[in-house]
């Protein structure tokens, strides 16, 4: 009998997996739009602009009863499968809410023990079955490359003129989380849009920004500080990749000096090749050119230590690491620029407290807003992937003429 690992035997796709990232991108793309969303490298500036625009339209239409009803008609003929075999609260619920906003019916598998995988059905067979019943598969899995292999399988089916549906990677192993990068980017873009029209944030943040007259509009020309589990934080990897496409970026990475937690060589090289100035430190109190790194930060991105990826050795070694230098204490918050957004993909660790609740009412705090933005951008992504952008524009124009 073959070992239980045959459930996730991806050897049929190995030669496709081994290619450099840029060679893979065309496999996830149609002429004018995405075919699947698998990795953050697909989120090019032009696409980010289009998706942000769709998200803005959806959030506006969702406000009023009449336009909201119209939205709920937009994709009411579609069904989505939420296949989440790794714990998730925000990503799962925001995708579900996004489906509800657009009238998409959704179903879920969260515990593989309740599926035929318990009868040794392979993961790939499960996915192919979902594609018989559903029009899009949204998946989170602890298994690296699983979403990517599903996209290749769908492409093969399409080339054989069989039924094939878009695949969305909602988190794969410790490698990628492109839809989190999408919502993080959307939040950063709104924070630096200098748009007082944004009722919830505009006036408060605009007032704070007055002391930084040189701050540039948009995501370019900024110093981003990422803190926590840089090695295994898939949200960091995906967001840094997206931000590296914009000019004159400085990125500071703060993590414990441990092989699993610090930045891997692959990410460092990719960012440097994209023209980013990369700095690495082992404490939030570190200095760069004689000045505190916190006081030079335009945007702070905190993360938790991702214990679920620990090997037996890691658990023992990590228990000895002092996590104090990676906690955003109120005293450290004071050192940040008065306009610097404070982000975190959540969940935060209530034991380690890398982000203490005392700072939650600070006007720079973005993490709850980030989560809500996730719902709008995920709805935008579904509209794009299911080819309903034109219909959304038409519906929007029936309500607003600006």
Q: What's the closest the beta carbon of residue 392 comes to ligand NCD, in angstroms?
A: 25
In angstroms, how far is CA 255 from the centroid of its own chain? Answer: 20
Nearer to ligand NCD, 13 or 92 (CB): 92
Query: Which residue has 């599926």 as its token pair?
Result: 115
Q: Could you tell me the smallest distance in angstroms from the CB atom of residue 348 to ligand NCD?
A: 8
Closest C-alpha to 250, from 298, 193, 189, 192: 298
User: Please, what is the minimum distance in Å from the beta carbon of residue 147 to ligand NCD?
Assistant: 13
DSSP codes of every residue in 171-223: EETTTB-HHHHHHHHHHHHHHTS--TT-TTTHHHHHHHHTT-TTPPSSSSS-E
Question: Which tokens is 307 given?
Answer: 């214990």
The residue number whose beta carbon is nearest to ligand NCD equals 345
C-alpha–C-alpha distance, residues 264 and 283, integer Å: 18
In the complex with ligand NCD, the residue whose CB is nearer, 165 or 355, is 355
Tokens 């440097």 -> residue: 272
Between 170 and 386, whose beta carbon lies closer to ligand NCD?
Answer: 170
Other CB atoms within 10 A of residue 47 CB: 17
- Helix, strand, coil percentages (3-state) for the chain, rounded to 5, are 50, 15, 40
The distance between the two most distant Cα atoms of the chain, rounded to a whole number of Å, is 69
What tokens does 167 get? 């695949």
- Least distance in angstroms from the C-beta of 170 to ligand NCD: 8
Nearer to ligand NCD, 91 or 223 (CB): 91
Minimum CB–partner distance for residue 90 and ligand NCD (Å): 5
Among residues 341 and 345, whose Cβ is nearest to ligand NCD?
Answer: 345
Name the site residues for ligand NCD (rule: CB under 6 A).
Answer: 90-91, 171, 177, 180, 234-235, 304, 306, 345-346
Of residues 370, 49, 354, the one with CA closest to residue 180: 370
Dig out the tokens for 329 from the structure.
């204490």
State in angstroms the smallest separation of the CB of 230 from ligand NCD: 12
| Closest CB to ligand NCD among residues 196, 315 | 315
């Amino acid at each position: 009998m073959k070992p239980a690992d045959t459930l996730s035997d991806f050897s049929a796709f190995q030669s496709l997996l081994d290619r450099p990232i840029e060679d893979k991108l065309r496999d996830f793309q149609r002429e004018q739009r995405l075919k699947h969303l698998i990795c953050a490298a697909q989120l090019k500036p032009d696409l980010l602009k289009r998706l942000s625009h769709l998200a803005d339209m959806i959030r506006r239409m969702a406000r009023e009863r009449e336009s909201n009803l119209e939205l709920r008609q937009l994709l009411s003929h579609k069904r989505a499968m939420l296949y989440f075999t790794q714990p998730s609260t925000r990503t799962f619920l925001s995708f579900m809410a996004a489906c509800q906003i657009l009238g998409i019916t959704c179903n879920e598998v969260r515990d593989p023990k309740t599926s035929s995988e318990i009868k040794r059905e392979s993961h790939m067979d499960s996915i192919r079955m979902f594609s018989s019943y559903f029009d899009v598969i949204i998946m989170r899995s602890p298994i690296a490359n699983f979403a990517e292999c599903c996209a290749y399988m769908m492409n093969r089916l399409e080339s054989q003129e069989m039924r094939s549906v878009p695949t969305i990677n909602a988190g794969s192993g410790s490698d990628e989380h492109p839809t989190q990068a999408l919502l993080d980017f959307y939040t950063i873009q709104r924070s630096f849009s200098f748009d007082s029209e944004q009722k919830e944030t505009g006036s408060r943040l605009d007032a704070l920004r007055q002391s930084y007259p040189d701050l540039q509009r948009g995501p370019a020309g900024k110093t981003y500080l990422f803190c926590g589990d840089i090695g295994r934080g898939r949200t960091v990897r995906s967001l840094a990749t997206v931000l590296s496409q914009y000019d004159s970026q400085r990125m500071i990475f703060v993590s414990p000096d441990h092989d699993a937690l610090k930045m891997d060589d692959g990410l460092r090289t990719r960012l440097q090749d994209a023209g980013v100035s990369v700095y690495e430190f082992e404490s939030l109190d570190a200095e760069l050119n004689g000045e505190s790194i916190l006081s030079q930060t335009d945007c702070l991105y905190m993360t938790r230590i991702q214990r679920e990826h620990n090997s037996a050795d890691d658990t023992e070694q990590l228990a000895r690491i002092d996590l104090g230098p990676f906690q955003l204490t109120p005293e450290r918050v004071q050192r940040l620029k008065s306009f610097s957004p404070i982000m975190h993909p959540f969940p935060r660790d209530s034991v380690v407290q890398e982000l203490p609740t005392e700072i939650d009412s600070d006007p720079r705090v973005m993490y709850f807003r980030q989560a809500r933005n996730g719902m709008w951008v995920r709805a935008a992504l579904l509209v794009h992937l299911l080819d309903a952008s034109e219909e959304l524009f038409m519906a929007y124009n029936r309500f607003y003429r600006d």
